[in-house]
Amino acid sequence: MSEEHGLTEDGKTVAPFPWLFVTKADRPQGCTGGGDIAIGNLRGLIIDQELATRLRREQVWKKEKGTKDGASPLFRNDIFSVRFDWRPTSCIKTFFDSTSMILHIDMDAFYASVEERDNPSLVGKPVIVGGSAESRGVVAAANYEARKFGVHSAMASGRARRLCPHAVVIKPRIDYYASVSRQIRDIFEQYTPLVEPLSLDEAFLDVTGSESLFGSSAEIGRLIKQRIRAELKLTASVGVATNKFVAKIASALKKPDGFVVVEAREIHAFLDPLPVGKLWGVGKVTGAVFERLRVRTIGQLRQMPLARLNELFGASGEHYWQLAHGIDDRRVVPDREAKSISNETTFAEDIADIEVLRAWLVELVEQVARRLRRHDLKGRTVELKVRFADFQTITRSMTLAKPTSITQELLDAGLELLTKRLPARHQLIRLLGFGVSKLDGSGKSQQTLFDQPDQTRQQELDRVADQITEKFGKRAIRRGTGIEKSDE
């Protein structure tokens, strides 16, 4: 490899380079034909995953006659930078692989587990984290002892107490849980910069480019799991697979403290026996249709023709078909690269109570606002996502006068969407989400003549709350919500 081929031997960053050449002598094992290489990821390098996925899907091969030394260009790349840790060209074969590797890491009963860790006398007892029955609270989290009695998150606290009257009920310490979540994220980011948080207690990690440094994706998953246990005294369940969908199912399969690896060649065997309800988007209504068709497993769904699924479910038919075949091309998108930042929660039981929904929205807004401030971002468009019991999904959005990351401003907009923009007579709600888009990282903000004193006060409140969360989690403060509630 020479400098004219786009790489240097001094270990420095070289980018962007228009072509990467591989000579016949450097050809990776298993490739045929004069050094021509199939499109794939560069193992050991952080690359543009969306480009790689598209090229793999189109099965693109690049050739160019008359190149120097009989070399063949691997693929055109005008859009990304790489850091190349120089190795002899004979080692180049270790960098080629066509498969991305994704981890889904999900903390086990996160809030309740943190409380048990901090108060060992709770271990072995049913623990419920949530508001009191008297204040119309809901369950934020329940440990596995409480779950044996039928208690689960999003359940009304009153009902939870009737199911398990001897449970220990603890008020949520959401800012403290956020500080623990930050410690978990710090561990993730020591293995890959490609971390996409879904909530305080779960995230996707793309470790494709980390395998040459830390071992296989499975080894990285085990290292992270072991470090979380050793350093934070908490357990996590880990799913390892070639895409997000399969990794997320894998992480939930053997909870708690689970670890499941699904290799690319095993995807169909892994998915086929699972109930069709495991597919994203299959709710009660869609599930009833499959039941009438006697399609009860993903394997049975996989045998259905795409045309038949489109006939039954319209645009969703192809979605079900792709998932049943284990196809999911979505890339892991870190907060800093995202075009929007959002969070959502799916309720174990459908909810109609507007006060309960309001409390859940407060939690979602606080998490999104913290993520914005962590990356010095502000957003101008606020979006509310609602999925009803029949799985119909709607979104409502509002564009603000200026970009913001102030929690109260985002919450005010979210509450208006929740209380004034939904259908007057809507069904029970299965999922609630909140997001912010049209992100601005310039650090500039437009001032108005009238709102600056209150805005300054709110910014100071957020700044202090963030500092308390990061440095003094055990003294964490909570935003008043009207009811005691928080999400796991």
Query: Is the separation of the CB atoms in 267 and 250 below 8 Å?
Result: no
Catalytic site includes residue 116: no
Catalytic choice (115, 202, 366, 409): 202
Residue positions annotated with a catalytic role = 202
